Amino acid sequence: SRAFNFCAGPAALPEPVLAQAQADLMDWQGKGLSVMEMSHRSDEFVSIAQRAERTLRELMGISDDYAVLFMQGGASTQFATIPLNLLGGHDCADYVNTGIWSKKAIAEAKRYTRVNVVASTEADNFTRCPDQSELKLNPEAGYVHYTPNETIGGLEYDYIPDVGDVPLVADLSSTILSRPQDINRFGLIYAGAQKNIGPAGLTLVLVRRDLMGRTRPELPTMMDYSVADKHDSMYNTPPTFAWYLAGLVFDWVQQQGGVQAMGELNRRKAERLYGAIDSSDFYGNPIQPRFRSWMNVPFTLADERLNSAFLAGAEERGLLSLQGHRSVGGMRASIYNAMPEAGVEALVAYMETFEKEKA
């Protein structure tokens, strides 16, 4: 009876995770209370928290060189947190502009430092990511920031930029855990939870320990990575229920075969959907095939006047939240880890039927 939810975030969660959360809701493991009601300092919650971190470390291959922080404020808070934590004595940072989320990160960083936009694909309407050779990097920059997956535009890098000795910072909000990634290439990774991790309210930060201590004096304590690390992400009351649910999601990813299996599944889903779009003149996607996102698939109808009919028909069939972002219009199907292949098949079948009816 559950719908297929294509929302970009908060996004669908795996059904077994929701079932486990439901079973635990009133009485977690016979303790007579919900995780929501537990002290974050209790042995029970600390064991939940530590287990989540352990599983994530296993899944992503995160060594002890990195701190894993469970923070708050969403990825948007990280746009400000990163410069204040990482600039130290540097007077500039490099940013790559590939769309709306890159721009938001750039705008916030400009409040604190000189920003070098070292590549931008705006002239191409953000239909591609830059190639490595286009990145005009500055060796004196405090760090290089980029957005591996632009959730709104639907474009995703198929490589990790080589930035030499300057720390590479990545907004992995919409692509974390979707495929294997070499964590050691990054100085810092951050991600809002509400796509591939769990409920909104939790923000994951992985930071190389040698980068801590480069803080600016005006950095709020709550945003200081070294403070969060020292207090095991419990300097204040953390979002305990979201943390617990994230742990259940990490267990689920592991049971599916880890990020390798997720990558294979996500590749199949993306190929199926882009294949359907490309095989018809009725639907379109403007992104260069090499840079098409596996997670967020924007598409347009050749006749925009049919948009509302398309969305209404989809909803009737339990295919939800297909409307594109308000800034770009059209459609967008977000097909994160928790979207089963059956959901993509149902969408493709509906697209074919709709086209036959209206073309």
Binding residues for pyridoxal 5'-phosphate: 75-76, 101, 151, 171, 194, 236-237
CB of 222 to ligand PLP, least distance (A): 15
CB closer to ligand PLP, 130 vs 192: 192
Residues comprising the binding site for L-glutamate?
41
Contact present, 100 and 8 (Cβ < 8 Å): no
Catalytic residue among 28, 103, 195, 252: 195
101 tagged catalytic? yes
Alpha carbons 109 and 343: distance in angstroms, whole number = 38
Measured from the CB atom, the residue of 174 and 337 that comes closer to ligand PLP is 174
Cβ at position 173, least distance to ligand PLP in Å: 4
Burial class of residue 317 (count of CB atoms within 10 Å of its CB; 0-12, 13-18, 19+): middle
Q: Give 196 or 355: the residue with its C-beta nearer to ligand PLP.
A: 196
d(CA 272, CA 193) in angstroms, rounded, equals 26
Query: 204 near 177, Cβ under 8 Å?
Result: no
Binding-site annotation, residues: 41, 75-76, 101, 151, 171, 194, 236-237
Q: How far is the CB of 242 from ligand PLP (least distance, A)?
A: 12
Cβ burial, residue 318 (10 Å; 0-12/13-18/19+): middle
How many CB atoms sit inside 10 A of residue 161's CB? 22
- Cα-trace Rg, the chain: 21
Residues in contact with ligand PLP by CB under 6 A are 9, 74-76, 101, 147, 151, 171, 173-174, 192
Among 28, 101, 243, 252, the one annotated catalytic: 101
In the block, residue with structure tokens 């975030």? 9
Which positions ≥6 away from 42 have C-beta within 8 Å? none
Q: Which is nearer to ligand PLP, 192 or 330 (CB)?
A: 192
Query: Nearest distance from residue 35's CB to ligand PLP, in Å?
Result: 22
Residues designated as active site: 101, 171, 195
